[in-house]
Amino acid sequence: MKPSTKKIIIYAILGLMILIAFSYFTRDTEKYSTEDAVRAEPMPDYSNSRYKEIYLAGGCFWGVQAYFDRMLGVVYTNVGYANGESEDTDYYSIGETGHAEAIYVVFDPDILSLEELLGYFYGIIEPTVLNRQGNDIGTQYRTGIYYVDPEDFETIKRVTEQEQEKHDEPIVTEIELLQNYILAEEYHQDYLVKNPGGYCHVDLSNIPRERPAVYKNAYPKPGDSEIRSELTSLQYSITQENATETPFQNPYWNNEEHGLYVDIVTGEPLFLSLDKFDSGSGWPSFTRPVQREVLTYHIDESLGMARTEVRSRSGDSHLGHVFDDGPVEEGGLRYCINSGALRFIHEDDLEKEGYGDFLIYFR
């Protein structure tokens, strides 16, 4: 073999090795970034709040979460593994550890009673079938109602007895005090929001008390030149350059009118006035977004502090930060948002501004 040919082969092998190494490095970097985003998302604590909590197992938790998460009166949901034989498990181990795929539901009893919620739950499961729902078979797909408040037992028992009258076979849905609950992996959370065409054994075409949906593609981000022309210099600096406005000297910090706050860049709905409170910070403060998926979360270590930055989903606008010093009775979170990132639409103007569906929150 000629020396020149050997050199070509050697360079080719070296080039291939570099390319492979680079691809692995890139993959690891992307994975790290995703994990950062997961760690950044705050977890509210409703254990001492004014809301009620219940855990429901209804087969594959993707569809069960999507069903309840779209219901007016449901404040928060996540998915996990309940009442198994150990305090630790994962998606690939639940068949051995005896956990059931379940969802954690936080609901406002002033809007949605436990009796109503359980009625809807029995309407989407086959309560007389053991260890199977839809196409899924196994102990992890059993049905169950796991309560944390002992006073809820009588209501659960009464609703179940009423449901039994509709069936010839005995109901096999477990009714137990919650023993353990392990949060499921991030890719399972809001799975059908991330994967609209994903498998679901629950009929999502007719959700009772359904809240208005907020779709990302309905609020496209304009080009930079258009954004500059529509915003003031301060609004542009806040949303596009991560600036912060002066506290107590911004339009909405003390606004008490009812309405909807949207992304000033795209118009995507972000916060309700019903979730706004006076934090004393001098900026508009909210206990939660109008829907969980309209925000993205990012680790922010600027200014020598470790904070969680909040951005809008569609426009990627910098909004502000979220902290864990909010009202305990509302879950403990405080979304501290710049007025310059928001546009307020009064309740009386929602219909003509194209947000008429959101009037359901004020009726």
Residues taking part in catalysis: 60, 336
In sequence order, the β-bridge partners of residue 277 are: 285
In whole angstroms, give the CA distance from residue 223 to residue 238: 16
Collapsing DSSP to helix, strand or coil, 275 comes out as helix
Q: Nearest to residue 299, comparing CAs of 7, 23, 22, 42? A: 42
Burial class (CB in 10 A: 0-12, 13-18, 19+), 206: exposed
Contacts of range 345-348, beta carbons closer than 8 Å, 24 or more positions apart: 345/259, 345/260, 345/261, 345/262, 346/257, 346/258, 346/259, 347/257, 347/258, 347/259, 347/260, 347/273
Is 232 in a helix, a strand, or coil?
Answer: coil
Contacts of 49 (CB under 8 A, 6+ apart): 106, 328, 329, 330, 331, 332
The count of other CB atoms within 10 Å of the CB of residue 119 is: 14
Q: Token pair of 209, please?
A: 């008390």
What are the counts of helices (DSSP H) followed by strands (DSSP E) for the chain?
8, 17
